[in-house]
Amino acid sequence: MTDKRILTIQDISCVGQCSLTVALPIISACGVEASVLPSAVLSTHTSGFTGYTFRDLTEDIPSIVSHWEKENIDFDAIYTGYLGSTKQIDYVIDVMNRVNKPTGLKIVDPAMADHGELYAGFDDTYVKAIMTLCSKADIIIPNITEACFMTGMDFKTEYDRAYIDELLSKLVAIGAGTVILTGVGYQPEKTGVIVVEDGKESYYEHKRFAEGCHGTGDVYASAFVGALMNGLSIYDAARIAADFTLASIEHTKKDADHWYGVKFEKMLPKLIDLLDEAQSSV
Ligand code: PXL
């Protein structure tokens, strides 16, 4: 098998265990080359820290991509996360058209919200722009909050299957090929992910911790991309990413003082084992 090279576009939060500081190690551990296009540089992420710095790198994008084109550099997939500005989203669509291989996947984590609220600095205009990006994607990975912002549905912490089905059909209508909705649980001690692929719905349910951690969405999406690029099915990649994220949360919860991110690092060998297991059973 030819080794895969992907491009991930998201911010560098220098401290905070999210976005690129999570995506790079996780995708690399999966044996996949990870190239980066940083959307912004922040001293920390924006959830819980105050007074962080923010340098928007939007205007660096066109010249970086032109250089790659001159060097004939292209990618097997482009995976986007937290983006720095609405204008940047137009550039990201252009990047996807210019340097993704014709067979290259477009994977969008609309990282903009959690727990019923948009992250600091995002507004309705950003939500609309992210929806345009999602409409062009092969795979989107929203959590329930992001799904609600994109579909106009009310955010709920307790819901039934009818609510989730309506959310899913509205997400599918946005236009991405496959939808992976994260953080869906119908019982207090359970959560899971729903994959909707070619109209077929599959649910992977697993244990839920009462309190989540910041940055789980980035850990999940990065592990999903790494697993998918190993040739696994979308469902198997979604399942492995869930098991890895769960193990990482469990490990993080042993350290009561660690509030700002997921301690995924010591769980990387488990991710590699999960990938090996899945590949040997194919
Ligand atoms: O984990 C998502 C994320 C990524 N990047 C930045 C963030 C957040 C969430 O708060 O603030 C800068």
- Residue 282, classed as helix, strand or coil, is coil
The pLDDT mean for the chain works out to 96
CA of 11 to the centre of ligand 1 (A): 8
Query: Domain for residue 253, yes or no?
Result: yes
Query: In b/e form, how buried is each residue of 241-277, taking b as 16+ CB within 10 angstroms?
Result: bbbbbbbbbebbeeeeeeebbbbbeebbebbeebbee
Question: Rounded to the nearest whole angstrom, what is the distance from the C-alpha of residue 17 to the centroid of ligand 1?
Answer: 9
- Looking at residue 149, what is its pLDDT? 98
Atom in ligand 1 nearest the alpha carbon of residue 22? 1
Q: Is residue 111 in some structural domain?
A: yes
In a domain, 64, yes or no: yes
What domain count does the chain have? 1
- Whose CA is closest to atom 12 on ligand 1? 45
Is 282 contained in some domain? no
Residue environment code for 186-198, b if the CB has 16+ CB neighbours within 10 A, otherwise e: eeeeebbbbbbbe
Task: Report pLDDT digits (tens) over 239-248.
Answer: 999 999 999 9
Side chain identity at residue 52, one-letter code: Y
Of the two residues 212 and 150, the one the predictor is more confident about is 150
pLDDT-above-70 percentage for the chain:
99
Does the residue 151 lie in any domain?
yes
Q: Is 195 helix (H, G, I), strand (E, B) or coil?
A: strand
Look up tokens 């959830």; give the residue. 47
Distance 143 CA to ligand 1 centre (A): 14
Neighbours of 227 (CB within 10 A): 28
pLDDT at 1: 58
- Give 275's pLDDT tier (boundaries 50, 70, 90): very high
Q: What is the mean pLDDT of residues 27-44?
A: 98
- Residue 248 maps to a domain: yes
pTM value is 0.98
166-175: long-range pairs with CB below 8 Å, 24+: 168/194, 168/196, 168/201, 171/140, 171/142, 171/147, 171/196, 172/196, 174/131, 174/134, 174/135, 174/140, 174/150, 175/134, 175/135, 175/136
State residue 212's pLDDT score. Answer: 81
Residues at CB less than 6 angstroms from ligand 1: 11, 13, 18-19, 42, 45-47, 82, 111, 119, 215, 217-218
For 81, 84, 184, 191, 275, the CA distances from 89, given in Å and listed in that order, are 11, 9, 27, 31, 32
Least confident segment among 13-27, 57-71, 86-100, 205-219: 205-219
Q: Is the pLDDT of residue 201 over 80?
A: yes
Q: Ligand 1 center to residue 2 CA distance, Å?
A: 33
Residues 94, 77: Cα–Cα separation, whole Å: 14
pLDDT at 282: 66
**Residue with CA closest to ligand 1 atom 8:** 45
The reply to whether 166 falls in a domain is: yes
Cβ atoms within 10 Å, residue 148: 18
pLDDT higher than 80, residue 208: yes
130-174 pLDDT, tens digit per residue, is 999 999 999 999 999 999 999 999 999 999 999 999 999 999 999
Output DSSP code: residue 188.
T
70-106 pLDDT, tens digit per residue, is 999 999 999 999 998 899 999 999 999 999 999 999 9
71: left (phi over 0), alpha (psi -120 to 50) or beta: alpha
Identify the residue whose C-alpha is closest to ligand 1 atom 1: 215
Average pLDDT over residues 242-265: 96
| Among 14, 47, 260, residue to substitute to test ligand 1 (most atoms within 8 Å of Cβ) | 47
In ligand 1, which atom is closest to the CA atom of 46?
11
User: For helices 216-228 and 234-252, what crossing angle results, to 10°?
Assistant: 140
**Dist. CA 117 → ligand 1 center (Å):** 13
Q: How many helices (H) and strands (E) does the chain have?
A: 9, 11
What is the number of the ligand 1 atom nearest to the C-alpha of 217?
A: 1
- Distance from Cα 64 to the centre of ligand 1, integer Å: 23
- The pLDDT of residue 210 is 79
- 12 CA to middle of ligand 1, Å? 9
Tell me the two tokens of residue 37.
């296009």
For the chain, what percentages of helix, strand and coil (3-state, to nearest 5) are there?
40, 25, 35
Q: Which domain holds residue 260?
A: 5-277
The yes-or-no verdict on residue 25 having pLDDT over 90 is yes
pLDDT of 211 higher than 90: no
* The pLDDT value given to residue 281: 81
| Pocket mutation for ligand 1, best pick of 11, 118, 119, 216 (most atoms within 8 Å of C-beta) | 119
CATH number (domain holding residue 102): 3.40.1190.20
Q: Check: CB of residue 27 under 8 Å from CB of residue 34.
A: yes
